Amino acid sequence: MALRELVIMLAVSVGAHADMQALDQGKQADQESLFVAVLTVRQRNLHLLESECKEVSDPASPKRGQYASFHQVGKLIQNLKGLEAVKAWIALKGLEVVAETLFGEYIMVRGQEQQLQRAFEWSSPASDHESKHGAAKILSVPKDLNEHVLAVLGIYADHVGPNSAVGHTEAYAPFGISEITDVHTVPVAPGYSKNFGRYNGTATPQVVRSFYGVGNEMAAGISQDIFSGNQNWTLPDLQAFRGHFGLDRSIVPESIGNFSIDPYAAIEKELPCNSTSSSWAGCSIVTSWRTEASLDVQYMTAMAQGAATRVHTYDLGKITNQSTANLRLEQALVDWIVKAANTSDTELALVHSISYGLTEDAIAVGLMEAFNTEAMKLCWRGVSILVAAGDGGVCQGHGSTTCEYSPVFPASSPYVTSIGGTMGPESNLPEIVANVADGGAYNAGGGFSKLFPTPWYQKTAVSAYVDGEAIKASMPGYNAAGRGYPDLAGLSNNFAIVINGMLFTSGGTSAASPSIAGLFSLVNSRRLADGRPSVGFVNPTLYAAGSEACCHDVTKGANKCTWEGPSFANCSQQAAAFCTDEACGINATVSCLPTTCKAGFEASVGWDPAAGLGSPKYQRLLDLFSAVQKAVMV
């Protein structure tokens, strides 16, 4: 969560301690000896699939809004010959088919470690923890399956594997289901974190709704999905948040995933954050395990009050270092891919919000190709996918030690709407790109993909920026022929959230993405009530219209690479050693970040890889999408 995560790691180094072993209790030894592999069967007619996606999303196309059904999409891409061959190979190897998607795109097979090592030339993970809870990075498709299998998306310990996404996903009661007696009294947590300097205002739900021009608008008759990865949220916190800020409390989001118990309860007992005696470091650690999911659910539901919301969370085990953190995010992407492929029309949410990602060079190409394929399929079905662009500027994000361009996926996918971050209006200041140099707590993500070329809908916009003056200030090393992101940007600084019954502030593009996702849910609600189809994949319409037709064009600020430099660790530890609150810790951390890195992009008029087309405005979106012809869903 931007630089707040660095402060949390810093808190650990200056004396905070948590019993992380509580996350791994109760696992059976025989379970841990089994692993699940995810095989991607090559799908047919992908060129036709891309064509259909373009047709239904192009505002100039007579087929705009004529979306396909689940079965139409499935029949187009289904590869029965490949599926039969893969199943025969699985049987030959003595592996067990755990589950498969309805049209056979993905097959989950289970076996002992040695079986999978032989079948996939799998090299076991180096650490004992990763061997029990994760997947090896070194995977290969067997030669006799190359014709039929695109990739092996991962090998996972059986008890944390993605088999729950196919036929085993269950809805469960949100943790803390009991009502809060006094929802209008939320105590201020010790170490209540506000940004320092000029940008120290707070973004409340009322501030955010006013910023986008929503007013008192409510949603009805629509659903929306949040994908929060390896974090969770609690209903008491959500209801306290709603009560404190006067929001509707009648619709309770549904939790989808494989959490059976609250995995953080044991840690909270050791590090309680419920009184003024709690240290700021302890509070930071406790709240960090719920920040992402709480931010997502509290602001997506605050924007689209009345919408049916599902929160997809995934018990992937504990995170002990950057390697396991990357592994957890990969597993979360696999979970999204499989769910996207297997969601029926009756269960389909028209808006997805994803607030996590990894650098392109940290993800297997096959996984990214599988994600893009499923995103194209959802495009044809009329779904909008919004993805946070990251909080590390143009480099790898949290903890980067090099000054370079490292684009983030899935924000760099050509088939999603990537969301950057801005700051200013929450502090009654002009809107600019969120960045450290101007006094913010993080640098908003953006840049150009190294792998995916500039898509058809943004070629004119990208060319205008690449040929303009603003890019001349950027250090060489970016791929000017790549997919440019973000597409839009939104308020992202100092969002008020409730965790463990207390108010905190957080931010980053993870605040902007669910907020704007909720905005599009409101647009969908209006359209569906008028008998029109959903907005679907919005990028072609947004780029065809241009910044002024959809957005406030953000022309100030830059998203330089957030890197730590060789002296960062010692500097930050020494600077924060005497802090007694989190705001001081953030200030100390930011003061140690080098400012010499020139990798990054300046905002300018029109689209740019710092703020996209700008921050969307509700009335402009209503006007823009009302011009799209009325179409009958097919």
Annotate 550-598 with DSSP letters as a single string.
HEEPP-S-B-------TTHHHHHHHHHTT--SHHHHHHHHHHTS-----
pLDDT digits (tens, 9 = 90+) for 226-261: 998 767 788 888 999 999 999 999 999 998 876 555
Res 4 pLDDT > 50: no
Please state the CATH superfamily assignment of the domain spanning residues 186-245+290-313+323-626 in this structure: Peptidase S8/S53 domain (3.40.50.200)
Residue 442 has a pLDDT of 86
Q: How confident is the model at residue 451 (pLDDT cuts 50, 70, 90)?
A: very high
Q: How confident is the model at residue 264 (pLDDT cuts 50, 70, 90)?
A: low
Residue 582 has a pLDDT of 61
Distance of CA 634 to the CA centre of its chain: 30
Out of 357-371, 534-548, 601-615, least confident range: 357-371
Mention every residue, 6+ apart, whose C-beta is less than 8 A from residue 224. Answer: 300, 304, 307, 308, 309, 310, 349, 350, 351, 352, 353, 517, 518, 521
Residue 587 has a pLDDT of 67
Give the mean model confidence (pLDDT) for residues 433-460.
Answer: 94
| H or E, element range at 157 | strand 149-157
Q: Kindly state the tokens that stand for 374.
A: 């499923």
Out of 253-267, 317-331, 371-385, 443-457, least confident range: 317-331
Give the mean model confidence (pLDDT) for residues 288-295.
Answer: 81
Q: Kindly state the tokens that stand for 532.
A: 């029109």
Residue 114 has a pLDDT of 82
Q: Distances in Å between the alpha carbon of 98 and those of 119, 129, 153? A: 16, 24, 15
Q: End-to-end CA distance of the chain, in Å?
A: 41
Give the mean model confidence (pLDDT) for residues 533-557.
Answer: 97
Residue 197 has a pLDDT of 74
Higher pLDDT, 479 or 2: 479
Residue 625 Ramachandran class (φ > 0 left, ψ -120 to 50 alpha, else beta): alpha
Res 316 pLDDT > 70: no
Q: Distances in Å between the alpha carbon of 602 and those of 338, 412, 490, 548? A: 37, 18, 17, 19
Q: How confident is the model at residue 398 (pLDDT cuts 50, 70, 90)?
A: low
Residue 388 has a pLDDT of 96
- Report the predicted TM-score, pTM, of the whole model to 2 decimal places: 0.87
Higher pLDDT, 274 or 389: 389
Q: How confident is the model at residue 503 (pLDDT cuts 50, 70, 90)?
A: confident
Three-state DSSP state, 322: helix
Res 267 pLDDT > 90: no
Q: How confident is the model at residue 163 (pLDDT cuts 50, 70, 90)?
A: very low
Q: How confident is the model at residue 336 (pLDDT cuts 50, 70, 90)?
A: very high
Give the mean model confidence (pLDDT) for residues 609-622.
Answer: 97
Res 51 pLDDT > 60: yes
Three-state DSSP state, 125: coil
CA proximity to 41, closest of 6, 84, 8? 84
Q: How confident is the model at residue 561 (pLDDT cuts 50, 70, 90)?
A: confident
Out of 8-22, 208-222, 298-312, 494-508, least confident range: 8-22
Out of 51-55, 393-397, 510-514, 616-620, least confident range: 393-397
Residue 155 has a pLDDT of 75
Out of 10-19, 82-91, 388-397, 448-457, least confident range: 10-19
Mention every residue, 6+ apart, whose C-beta is less than 8 A from residue 167. Answer: 99
Res 115 pLDDT > 50: yes
Residue 329 has a pLDDT of 78
Asked if residue 38 lies in contact with residue 158, where contact means CB atoms within 8 angstroms, the answer is: no
Q: How confident is the model at residue 392 (pLDDT cuts 50, 70, 90)?
A: confident
Asked if residue 358 lies in contact with residue 365, where contact means CB atoms within 8 angstroms, the answer is: no
Q: Is the dihedral of CA 409, 291, 304, 332 positive or negative?
A: positive
Distance of CA 517 to the CA centre of its chain: 11
Distance of CA 578 to the CA centre of its chain: 34
Q: What's the CA gap between 357 and 392, in Å, rounded?
A: 12
Question: DSSP label at 203?
Answer: B
Write down the H helix ranges in 505-563.
509-529, 539-545, 547-550
pLDDT digits (tens, 9 = 90+) for 169-207: 444 445 444 334 444 556 656 555 556 678 889 999 999
Phi, psi of 495 (to 5 degrees): -80, 130
Q: Is 365 exposed, middle or buried (0-12, 13-18, 19+ CB in 10 A)?
A: exposed
Q: How confident is the model at residue 6 (pLDDT cuts 50, 70, 90)?
A: very low
Tell me what percent of the residues of the chain surpass a pLDDT of 70: 72
Residue 119 has a pLDDT of 84
Three-state DSSP state, 598: coil
Give the mean model confidence (pLDDT) for residues 472-491.
Answer: 96
Residue 214 has a pLDDT of 94
Tell me what percent of the residues of the chain surpass a pLDDT of 90: 54
pLDDT digits (tens, 9 = 90+) for 583-606: 666 666 776 776 678 899 999 999
Residue 594 has a pLDDT of 67
Res 165 pLDDT > 50: no
* Mean pLDDT score across all residues of the chain: 81
Q: Kindly state the tokens that stand for 403.
A: 């000054």
Res 37 pLDDT > 90: no
Spans of all domains in the chain: 33-43+78-168, 186-245+290-313+323-626
Q: Kindly state the tokens that stand for 565.
A: 């430099």
Residue 580 has a pLDDT of 60
Q: How confident is the model at residue 131 (pLDDT cuts 50, 70, 90)?
A: very low
Give the mean model confidence (pLDDT) for residues 280-299.
Answer: 75
Q: How confident is the model at residue 281 (pLDDT cuts 50, 70, 90)?
A: low
Residue 275 has a pLDDT of 45
Residue 322 has a pLDDT of 47
Q: What's the CA gap between 375 and 416, in Å, rounded?
A: 7
Out of 249-258, 364-373, 528-537, least confident range: 249-258
Residue 7 has a pLDDT of 33
- Which range in 3-7, 179-183, 476-480 is most confidently predicted, on average pLDDT? 476-480
Q: What's the CA gap between 400 and 402, in Å, rounded?
A: 6
Residues in the chain: 634
Compute the 3-state secondary structure of the chain and give helix, strand, coil in percent, each to the nearest 5: 40, 15, 45
Residue 222 has a pLDDT of 93
Res 17 pLDDT > 50: no
Asked if residue 559 lies in contact with residue 601, where contact means CB atoms within 8 angstroms, the answer is: yes
Burial 225-251 (b: 16+ CB within 10 A, else e): bbbbbbbbbbbbbbbbbbbbbebebee
